A and B are shown apart, each in its own frame.
Chain A
Amino acid sequence: MDLTSDYFEIFGLPDAYEVDTQMLAERYRELQKQFHPDRYASKSAVQQKLAVQYTALINQAYAILRSPVERAQYLLSRKGLENNGENSTVNDSEFLLTQMTLREALLEIRDAADPFDELEKFAAPVKLEYGKLQRSFADQYSRERLEEAVETVAKMQFYRKLQQEIEQLEEELD
């Protein structure tokens, strides 16, 4: 493994969007057990430095593969498709409208009579849609329909952001 290694290779995982997260976590812990700087605390400075670099790489790879959005972006970037945020969906007017409707609905919940109940009702379909997009991406990627996959990632980004806003509102209401 050098410092430009492929993240899937590091964890010995097949090249696909769907990842067995339990297996990923297990391998992560195994690699850490072997290469964490704590394992080199009584070794020479050279080895300590290497251990820091390797574990930093392992941590980075783990963080990317664990995140549904970042994993998708990583897969696309390996195929030379850099995804530049929301740009790619600007032309999809239908999705733009969905975005606006959802955001407005979230804003209104803040002033609702029973915000907790409303928020729960709002959050459920958002979560469902986020999951659906992930499955679409897996399908599109495996069938090499990469242009569609790029659009799907952009939509996933929106839903992830929306979920974060839901959590934030939950926190504020608490």
Chain B
Amino acid sequence: MALLQISEPGLSPEPHQHRRAVGIDLGTTNSLVATVRSGTPETLPDKQGRHLLPSVVHYGKGGEIQVGSAARRRLVENPLDTLASVKRYMGRGVEDIARLGSELPYQLVDSDNGMPSFQTAGGAISPVAASAEILEALEQRAELALDGSLDGAVITVPAYFDDAQRQATKDAATLAGIKVLRLLNEPTAAAIAYGLDQQDQGVIAVYDLGGGTFDISILRLTRGVFEVLATGGDSALGGDDFDRAIAEWIGRQAGLPDALDPSQQRMLLEAARAAKEQLTEQQQVDVAAAGWRGTLGREQLGELLKPYIDKTLRACKKAVRDAGLEIGQVDNIVMVGGSTRTPRVREQVAQLFGKPPLVDLDPDRVVALGAAIQADILVGNKPDGEILLLDVIPLSLGLETMGGLTEKIIHRNTTIPVAKAQEFTTFKDGQAAMAIHVLQGERELVSDNRSLARFELRDIPPMVAGAAKVRVVFQVDADGLLSVTAKELTSGVEARVEVKPSYGLSDEEVTSMLKASYTHAKEDMQARALKEQQVEADRMIEDLTAALAADGRELLSEEEYHCLEVALKDLRSLASSEDHRLIARHIEMVAKASETFAARRMDVSIKKALSGHHLTDFDEQ
């Protein structure tokens, strides 16, 4: 196996070592995969030349699974076994879904972990499993086009996705066997696709109205660095609502009753969508349903959509204000999502911002294109890539305190990665344990926010009330995923959780689903695990060898240097072994042994970065 190249900062790898990376837009209605070829991003079509893959999965009686257009054709005839818009249910509990609307055409079943599944002819299917099917279809398409297996993917999520929804998306990728380089916010991807990073600086608003979600993001660009200043939106508002509003109107005109069976509902929704799409070109269209015939004009459509569009405009104003800006300071407006084709949406957005929005790129593809550009950089094809994204968390994170109140630890719109600590104390004399309840949301009351996780800090030594000092640390990584640790400072008792959403899958469940999945036979799984460990081992060997050669003598004592050399030699002799567990164990050992060294190297490079300033800037002053 070829060694992967790790370049020292500032040095570029050999040009022929091109890695296969893709950007995936896992959408509510449609999904896409894109890659960068010869420096240009492009979406990849299927064999029939279609770029959009409908995000629909059909589960048949015999266990056969269809994805995409084939599945979408079965929506009307077989609505219960055909799952559409599953993105709306990612990371959601049964109650959340019930709140999304009673017109849901699926039969929900509850499972032990609180995550709902849809009852289909192919068994109970979770939203994560259905999303994994879509991802796998895209992966296959990309591997065919790129002639080999993928080294990694950037998957986009709405900026407004909470921790649970992000985690569910990552789980789906794991199930599909895709290495996620980064979860990227859709609006940021869109801004990259428009090449706005080529400009020197400016403020960009990304208005993203998709099938099921609305996102507004305000970004500032300064010489290649994108800072997300504020995000807002609604994770349950989109083109599907347009369709439903139109369908209800058609139903009323046709004199249909309010309660309809699933296939009637589907039929009305299909008619509604067709009418909406035609109205982007025409002034009015003919509509027919259940024996009724009539026309729908743009004016009437505008009236039907007004409450939804108004909601998006209010969110825009709020986001601009959150960013500390005035509407007039926005230089560019990027339009994303199929629903921005609706003429009324474009008019209203132009009116709000006082300038026409950018609509040159296909609003359905723009996110995938941007994700591909970012994937290309992250996988190492463009190590000196000029773009850097500084993203924020969309919702505040906090803890439950006495009286059912939420204490915010990290406020929304804080740049990630971020780590914040807060100290709490005990309420009763001799209190031995403390319940930590992690929450996400902006509201005061715990019950109004989203519960992310609960865990307990135990074995606190007996003390009078208020004497214990419990330090809770929240850390959010660059994907926006949270981990929480709690430590009692006087005794050193510690507890830690990687926050797994209350409605998500545990790692064991992901693993067991992987094992159960017939697309990855057992040998396949092991081969994959072995390959992953070998790649990580090679990466580590390259890394550490280069680091030791560069400044090992300078930064390490004779003994430390020798220890690392020995550990490295061990790993080298094992790296090609067939036992992935053995390799993993050794990687961990080397990682531990080299931690101090890595930290010292980092310190040195930071000092270098700073000393540059001291010289030039203080001279100027």
Of B417, B539, B598, the residue contacting A59 (CB under 8 A) is B417
**Residues 579-621 of B at the A interface (beta carbon under 8 Å):** 591, 594-595, 598-599, 602-603, 605-607, 609-610, 613-614, 617
Q: B306-329 interface mask toward A, CB cutoff 8 Å, 1 = contact, 0 = none?
A: 000000000001100100000000
Cβ–Cβ contact A60 & B606, under 8 A: no
Q: A36-58 interface mask toward B, CB cutoff 8 Å, 1 = contact, 0 = none?
A: 11110111111100111111110
Of B225, B477, B591, the residue contacting A32 (CB under 8 A) is B225
Cβ–Cβ contact B225 & A29, under 8 A: yes
Cβ–Cβ contact B536 & A45, under 8 A: yes
Inside 8 A of A63's CB, which chain B residues have their CB?
414-415
Decide yes or no whether B380 CB sits under 8 A from chain A.
Answer: yes
- In the bound complex, what is the Cα–Cα distance between A31 and B598 (angstroms)? 18
Name the residue in B6, B389, B477 with the highest tally of chain A Cβ atoms < 10 Å from its Cβ.
B477
Closest to B475 in A: A56
Cβ–Cβ contact A32 & B614, under 8 A: no
Decide yes or no whether B379 CB sits under 8 A from chain A.
Answer: yes
Cβ–Cβ contact B603 & A46, under 8 A: no
**Residues 1-47 of A at the B interface (beta carbon under 8 Å):** 1-2, 9-10, 12, 23, 25, 27, 29-39, 41-47
Cβ–Cβ contact B598 & A47, under 8 A: yes
Decide yes or no whether A171 CB sits under 8 A from chain B.
Answer: yes
Closest to A59 in B: B415
Shortest C-beta distance, B369 to chain A (Å), equals 18
Cβ–Cβ contact A167 & B225, under 8 A: no
**Residues 455-507 of B at the A interface (beta carbon under 8 Å):** 475, 477-478
Cβ–Cβ contact B416 & A59, under 8 A: yes
Decide yes or no whether B65 CB sits under 8 A from chain A.
Answer: no
Cβ–Cβ contact A43 & B607, under 8 A: no
Decide yes or no whether B378 CB sits under 8 A from chain A.
Answer: yes
Name the residue in B378, B598, B606, B614 with the highest tally of chain A Cβ atoms < 10 Å from its Cβ.
B606
Of A23, A54, A167, the residue contacting B602 (CB under 8 A) is A54
Of A31, A32, A41, A44, the residue contacting B543 (CB under 8 A) is A44
Known A-B contacts A33-B388, A41-B378, A41-B379; A59 and B594 likewise in contact (beta carbons under 8 Å): no
Closest to B314 in A: A174
Inside 8 A of A36's CB, which chain B residues have their CB?
388, 390, 478
Known A-B contacts A37-B478, A38-B478, A59-B414; A46 and B595 likewise in contact (beta carbons under 8 Å): yes
Closest to B380 in A: A42
Decide yes or no whether B37 CB sits under 8 A from chain A.
Answer: no
- In the bound complex, what is the Cα–Cα distance between A45 and B609 (angstroms)? 23
Shortest C-beta distance, B7 to chain A (Å), equals 9
Cβ–Cβ contact B414 & A1, under 8 A: no
**Residues 376-410 of B at the A interface (beta carbon under 8 Å):** 377-380, 388-390
Closest to B607 in A: A1
- In the bound complex, what is the Cα–Cα distance between A65 and B164 (angstroms)? 32
Closest to A54 in B: B602
Shortest C-beta distance, B408 to chain A (Å), equals 14
Closest to B592 in A: A46
Decide yes or no whether B540 CB sits under 8 A from chain A.
Answer: yes
Inside 8 A of B256's CB, which chain A residues have their CB?
none
Cβ–Cβ contact B182 & A41, under 8 A: yes
Known A-B contacts A12-B617, A171-B318; A46 and B182 likewise in contact (beta carbons under 8 Å): no
Decide yes or no whether B50 CB sits under 8 A from chain A.
Answer: no
Inside 8 A of A52's CB, which chain B residues have their CB?
417, 475, 477-478
Inside 8 A of A53's CB, which chain B residues have their CB?
419
Decide yes or no whether B420 CB sits under 8 A from chain A.
Answer: yes
Cβ–Cβ contact B225 & A33, under 8 A: yes
Shortest C-beta distance, B486 to chain A (Å), equals 18
Decide yes or no whether B181 CB sits under 8 A from chain A.
Answer: yes
Shortest C-beta distance, B335 to chain A (Å), equals 24
Cβ–Cβ contact A35 & B606, under 8 A: yes
Cβ–Cβ contact A46 & B594, under 8 A: yes
Cβ–Cβ contact B599 & A23, under 8 A: no
**Residues 78-135 of B at the A interface (beta carbon under 8 Å):** none
Decide yes or no whether B198 CB sits under 8 A from chain A.
Answer: no
Cβ–Cβ contact A44 & B540, under 8 A: yes
Known A-B contacts A52-B477, A167-B321; A32 and B613 likewise in contact (beta carbons under 8 Å): no
**Residues 1-59 of B at the A interface (beta carbon under 8 Å):** 4, 6, 9
Known A-B contacts A41-B378, A50-B602; A34 and B609 likewise in contact (beta carbons under 8 Å): yes
Closest to A1 in B: B606
- In the bound complex, what is the Cα–Cα distance between A41 and B390 (angstroms)? 15
Decide yes or no whether B223 CB sits under 8 A from chain A.
Answer: yes
Inside 8 A of B352's CB, which chain A residues have their CB?
none
Shortest C-beta distance, A158 to chain B (Å), equals 20
**Residues 217-238 of B at the A interface (beta carbon under 8 Å):** 222-225, 227
- In the bound complex, what is the Cα–Cα distance between A2 and B317 (angstroms)? 40
Inside 8 A of A47's CB, which chain B residues have their CB?
543, 598, 602
Of B389, B475, B540, the residue contacting A38 (CB under 8 A) is B389
Of A2, A32, A54, A56, the residue contacting B390 (CB under 8 A) is A32
Known A-B contacts A32-B388, A45-B591; A60 and B609 likewise in contact (beta carbons under 8 Å): no
Cβ–Cβ contact B606 & A50, under 8 A: no
Closest to B539 in A: A44
Shortest C-beta distance, B414 to chain A (Å), equals 7
Shortest C-beta distance, A82 to chain B (Å), equals 13
Closest to B617 in A: A12
Decide yes or no whether B418 CB sits under 8 A from chain A.
Answer: yes
Shortest C-beta distance, A67 to chain B (Å), equals 12
Shortest C-beta distance, A83 to chain B (Å), equals 16
Shortest C-beta distance, A116 to chain B (Å), equals 15
Q: A77-106 interface mask toward B, CB cutoff 8 Å, 1 = contact, 0 = none?
A: 000000000000000000000000000000
Shortest C-beta distance, A88 to chain B (Å), equals 21
Cβ–Cβ contact B610 & A12, under 8 A: yes
Inside 8 A of A46's CB, which chain B residues have their CB?
591, 594-595, 598
- In the bound complex, what is the Cα–Cα distance between A33 and B379 (angstroms)? 16
Inside 8 A of A35's CB, which chain B residues have their CB?
602, 606
User: Can you give 24 A-B contacts (C-beta < 8 A)?
Assistant: A1-B603, A1-B607, A31-B606, A32-B225, A32-B388, A33-B388, A34-B606, A36-B478, A37-B477, A37-B478, A38-B389, A41-B378, A42-B4, A42-B378, A43-B539, A44-B543, A45-B536, A47-B543, A51-B602, A56-B417, A60-B418, A60-B419, A63-B414, A171-B318
Given A32-B225, A63-B414, 10 new contacts (CB under 8 A): A2-B599, A25-B222, A38-B377, A38-B388, A38-B389, A44-B591, A45-B536, A55-B478, A57-B419, A62-B415
Interface residues in chain B, defined as those with a beta carbon under 8 Å from any beta carbon in chain A: 4, 6, 9, 181-182, 222-225, 227, 317-318, 321, 377-380, 388-390, 414-420, 475, 477-478, 536, 539-540, 543-544, 591, 594-595, 598-599, 602-603, 605-607, 609-610, 613-614, 617
Closest 4 A-B residue pairs measured CB to CB? A42-B380, A56-B419, A12-B613, A41-B378
